[in-house]
Structure 1
Amino acid sequence: MPDDTDTDTDADAEAEAEAEAEAEADGLTVGQVSTRLGVTVRALHHWDEIGLARPSLRTAAGYRLYTAADLERLHRVVVYREIGLGLDRIRAVLDDPTADVPGALRAQRAQVAERIDRLQRLGAGLDRMIDAHERGLLLTVEEQAEVLGPGWNPDWPAQARQRYGETTQWLQYVERSAARGPEEWQAVAAAVTDLDRALGEAMDAGVAPGSPEANGLVERHREVFASYFPLTREMQVCLGRMYEADPGFAAHYDGIRPGLATWFRRIVDASARAHGIDPDTATWR
């Protein structure tokens, strides 16, 4: 294996060859053209190989040398490449006297306009995603009250971000939130309200945990909750516990029907057991 000394020697030899090339002929070396035009040596070699922009001169040692005319052509190649023309189109513009240059440029301009529009829409989407990460819910306080009802607390999204902001589920939630406006949130709120009503009616009717009716409501809860983030069965068990134990959630469900928070936890646990999950050991995963 060559050591650093060998590498330095090779670099010195190349530099000497470049200097010799400068002295031997009236032209610019590849390295000089690369620096002057801001393109890579590799690109210059490639354009030479495909016949797009070849140097007119060679030194006795075979090194490429570019004349003033060569440099002018290279400059035009760089300009057309920077505005997005492909190499084949550039060749046609430079070499084909019948080429419709204004037409080619207009077509390229249309593509650039489309790209700008796409990037602007991407930028707007990124702004919404950033806002969703920071705010959780992209609705004004007035919109929240109108869409989510008078019982909605506009401080809840900020509290949820503080509590869950580092979790995968928060990221999934904000991705969904960024894509929603008032109408979409209205649909989500309506689905939650309908589910709450169905839970209360089922409890009144004496639906037993583990019954087909109860299991259907458990599945419906998972489907509705997917509006926020995907909910596994074990995660649903954890939510059932929280609904029963957390004063805020318990007040919500028991406000629908006294004892509903506990009844809901029981039907979730029964459904989990039917799927081979022990509710006592279930974790958030």
Structure 2
Amino acid sequence: MVDRLEMFIALANERHFGRAAEVCGVTQPTLSSAIRQLEDHLGVQLVLRGSRFQGLTPEGHRTLDWARRIVADSRALRDEMRAARQGLSGQLRLGVIPTALAMAARLTAPFLERHPGVRLSILSRSSSEIVTRIEALELDAGLTYLDGEPLGRLEALPLYHEGYALLVGADSAIAGRGTLDWADLAGEPLCLLTSDMQNRRIVDRHLSEAFAAAAHEAPPPRLESNSIVALAAHVAAGGWSSVLPARMAALFARDPRLAAVPIAGERHAVGLVVPRRAPHTPLIAALLDTARRVTEA
């Protein structure tokens, strides 16, 4: 039954029979047969079928909620029994917003040092992707913003607060300033993250508020990217500036061509998010324990 539920979850996530079969490591006929057997067992139609996958029935959506709970409990049981036999081990998938990638090692390095049997994957994802993929069992935990946008059915542990800086060329007239206000960014040739990133929405809000106070409209950036490295490379090439988290801007400012100027104002909480469940799996419990030690230190 659990195997069939896992295939059903994969189909709901992928919305394609072939891709779902590939994720599960089975043939497409095997997956289709498992879904039909699940439907026969439950006595309801779960999937709308035609020449291709057309979605879930209302019963399918309700079953998906139950399937995710049952599969999560099954995996938790396996993890706990494995930990009891051989100590903590297994694979942990951590989604991290791009602006927190430079800070992730403060959590993951001590975690891996304490638990050498664990393998860790760090995946760059937007804040909304982290929430949806944890709920879909495609990620185990995430590092993301904790304020401003809903976190769904997740438990959160704050790790640090993110401030901002303007990354500019070292020869820029603004590079020698001690600190900036958001209104000081008027006229700067900004390159920013794309609007699907929560960091960009935060930056847009701060700029809009600052420019509204001066009865001006914040100009849109001429260049956008979902890669912070691409933004920093354009600033280094000359003629651009970018708003980045202060710690990340400081890392890039080690390049003598660049300078980071702090921007005064509100800071935003970033932290660890995990599924809200009791008890946690051994891996998640260990990750939360490490995160608490990091914040206390």
Please classify the TM superposition score into its range, dividing by the shorter chain length. Answer: under 0.3
So what's the TM-score if we normalise by structure 2?
Answer: 0.19
Q: Which has the higher contact order (CA 8 A, sep 6+)?
A: 2
So what's the TM-score if we normalise by structure 1?
Answer: 0.20
Q: Which has the higher strand share?
A: 2
Larger radius of gyration: 1
